[in-house]
Amino acid sequence: MTSLCHGLPPLTGRTEPWMEQLLADPDQCADLLSAHGSALNLLDFGPLGRNIGELTRAGADLGVEVGVFVARKANKALSLISAAVDAGAGLDVASYAELKQCLDRGVEAGRIIVTAAVKDKALLTLAITSRVTVSLDNVDETADVVAIAAKEGIRARVALRLAVTHPSVPPTRFGLTADSWLAFLRDRGELLEVEGVHFHLNGYDRQHRVLALAEACSFIDRLRDAGHPVGYIDMGGGIPMSYLEDEQSWRAFWQALAADADGTLTWRGDRLGLTDPALDRPSPALYPYWQRETRGAWLTALLSTPVDGTTAAQLLTSRGLQLRCEPGRSVLDGCGVTLAEVVFRKTTSDGVPLVGLQMNRTQMRSTSADVLIDPRWLRPSRAGTPSAPGEAFLVGAYCIEEELILRRRLAFPQGVARGDIAVFLNTAGYLMHILESPSHQLPLAQNLVHRDGDWIPDGES
Ligand SMILES: *Cc1c(COP(=O)(O)O)cnc(C)c1O
């Protein structure tokens, strides 16, 4: 069977068995859209446990105890909380609401860390009085923590966010240097229970993380000398995953784009972050949709990397340190898809063919410049008469010229019908939620969770 849709050139997305089962029944997908509206997010947290297990096993094989705290901000579904706990993980929360939801659902305090970039007093008070660890970012916030702890008559559990200063690691707005923290603790540290050192680096570079681990270890040596019994390093997120079946299509796509002098492959010739055509690969600002090493293999390589005359793993084991991490995207790999219904076909005033979807571009966006994988395309039995075979760009509901769902040209070998369904693969990690907006007062997409063969609205478990 020829597929109903592919990108030019194709970027074929990796799927999970539950996704293929869903895609095999276009009429069921149409029924779900009729019942819950378009766009619609479908979640199955089955792969979460497997993904988390890859990380803990990779550590265990090298004698390193790994604790996984799923980055809550990567997906809003309430069901993610119990799925993470059932998979033996904890949660990394970034707001009062995210923390409250976890506590209300009975997540143990020791399984939560607060890493919010800005922490108000309500969030800090709830965390401190619940004995949840707070990752401290700056001196003003730490002064608030000390004041709340004094008022409550307790000590606050904290991890210190380290701003890594190694010249090979890019500068960061997050955390403070080891010297700044040590100076603060000398003067005002008595109400702080310093249990860990935290960092979260932008991007996915493995070597940067090795250097950061080494810097965190020497910081911990100084903290322990000063009487703080630090037990772990939390290396944040940024663990790679792959959205694509194979490397070949990823390379071929960038080569084709580099050679596309007329700008036909993308919306109005968008370069999609390709800064230098001679390089035929994306800029680092773009999420690498294909990566050679992911999760377990990546962590094994990281822990085996030589550093300071030893290995990263031995830096940890020789100090009896646990390694914690806060992956978002990589553990949500395989956990979601987003469906949207075709409402119109047309061309622009200058003849560019368009397909209009009942969704808007904030319902599938990351914070990187986006190149997305090919949607899968479904034609339910109630779809209308298809158009002639052709090509088109997908547009959405916001009244903006640049309202593109995908900035890539797609081919439709069997035309497009009203009532067709575009299925965007692997959207659970950020893509469905991180930027979604109810602009134009359009409702947000509903979230359904796969449970015992049924699709249940999230939160109604
Ligand atoms: C966003 C974030 C994460 C998750 O990052 P991923 O790239 O999804 O793994 C983890 N920790 C902190 C502090 C974050 O801000």
Each of the 461 residues of the chain gets a pLDDT tens digit; together they read 569 999 999 999 999 999 999 999 999 999 999 999 999 999 999 999 999 999 999 999 999 999 999 999 999 999 999 999 999 999 999 999 999 999 999 999 999 999 999 999 999 999 999 999 999 999 999 999 999 999 999 999 999 999 999 999 999 999 999 999 999 999 988 999 999 999 999 888 999 999 999 999 999 999 999 999 999 999 999 999 999 988 999 999 999 999 999 999 999 999 888 877 677 777 766 788 899 899 999 999 999 999 999 999 999 999 999 999 999 999 999 999 999 999 999 999 999 999 999 999 999 998 777 778 999 999 999 999 999 999 999 999 999 999 999 999 999 999 999 999 999 999 999 999 999 999 999 999 999 999 999 999 999 85
Token pair 């002098």 is found at 261
75 close to 54: Cβ distance less than 8 angstroms: no
Q: Please give the distance, rounded to the nearest whole angstrom, from the Cα atom of residue 326 to the centre of ligand 1.
A: 6
Query: To which H or E segment does residue 43 belong?
Result: strand 40-43
Tokens, residue 315: 């830096």
Ligand 1 atom at shortest distance from the alpha carbon of 74? 8
Residues of the chain within CATH 3.20.20.10 domain(s) are 47-240+290-325
The reported pLDDT for the residue numbered 444 is 97
Q: Please give the distance, rounded to the nearest whole angstrom, from the Cα atom of residue 380 to the centre of ligand 1.
A: 38
Closest CA to ligand 1's atom 12: 236
Question: Distance between CA atoms of 293 and 239, rounded to whole angstroms?
Answer: 10
Could you tell me the CA-to-CA distances from 321 to 58, 178, 250, 264 in Å, in that order? 16, 18, 38, 53
Tokens, residue 239: 């663990």
Fold adopted by 6-44+334-450: Lyase, Ornithine Decarboxylase; Chain A, domain 1 (2.40.37)
Ligand 1 atom at shortest distance from the alpha carbon of 174? 13
The reported pLDDT for the residue numbered 48 is 98
Q: Please give the distance, rounded to the nearest whole angstrom, from the Cα atom of residue 25 to the centre of ligand 1.
A: 35
Candidate of 133, 200, 209 to mutate for ligand 1, largest count of ligand atoms within 8 Å of Cβ: 200
CATH number of 47-240+290-325: 3.20.20.10
Closest CA to ligand 1's atom 2: 237
Candidate of 75, 92, 133 to mutate for ligand 1, largest count of ligand atoms within 8 Å of Cβ: 92
Question: Distance between CA atoms of 455 and 449, rounded to whole angstroms?
Answer: 5
Q: What angle do CA 366, 370, 371 make, to 5 degrees?
A: 135
The reported pLDDT for the residue numbered 461 is 59
The reported pLDDT for the residue numbered 43 is 98
Q: Please give the distance, rounded to the nearest whole angstrom, from the Cα atom of residue 95 to the centre of ligand 1.
A: 14
Tokens, residue 342: 């075709």
Phi and psi based region of residue 17 (left: phi greater than 0; alpha: psi -120 to 50; beta: remaining): alpha
Ligand 1 atom at shortest distance from the alpha carbon of 332? 8
Token pair 């158009």 is found at 387
Strands 156-161 vs 192-198: parallel, antiparallel or unpaired? parallel
Amino acid at 178: A
Ligand 1 atom at shortest distance from the alpha carbon of 237? 9
Closest CA to ligand 1's atom 10: 237
Q: Please give the distance, rounded to the nearest whole angstrom, from the Cα atom of residue 33 to the centre of ligand 1.
A: 31
**Residues near ligand 1 with C-beta < 6 Å?**
71, 73-74, 92, 115, 200, 236-239, 326-330
337 close to 95: Cβ distance less than 8 angstroms: no
Residues near 128 by Cβ (< 8 Å), separated by ≥ 6? 134, 145, 148, 149, 152, 154, 156, 157
125 close to 147: Cβ distance less than 8 angstroms: no
Q: Please give the distance, rounded to the nearest whole angstrom, from the Cα atom of residue 429 to the centre of ligand 1.
A: 11
Tokens, residue 254: 């960038």
Q: Please give the distance, rounded to the nearest whole angstrom, from the Cα atom of residue 24 to the centre of ligand 1.
A: 34
Q: Please give the distance, rounded to the nearest whole angstrom, from the Cα atom of residue 236 to the centre of ligand 1.
A: 6
Q: Please give the distance, rounded to the nearest whole angstrom, from the Cα atom of residue 48 to the centre of ligand 1.
A: 16
Tokens, residue 140: 């003003």
Closest CA to ligand 1's atom 7: 238
Question: 196: which strand partners?
Answer: 159, 232
> E strands, 80-235, where?
90-93, 112-114, 133-136, 156-161, 192-198, 232-234
Residues of the chain within CATH 2.40.37.10 domain(s) are 6-44+334-450
Tokens, residue 145: 């923590």
Q: What angle do CA 305, 311, 313 make, to 5 degrees?
A: 100
Ligand 1 atom at shortest distance from the alpha carbon of 204? 7
Q: Please give the distance, rounded to the nearest whole angstrom, from the Cα atom of residue 204 to the centre of ligand 1.
A: 11
Closest CA to ligand 1's atom 11: 236
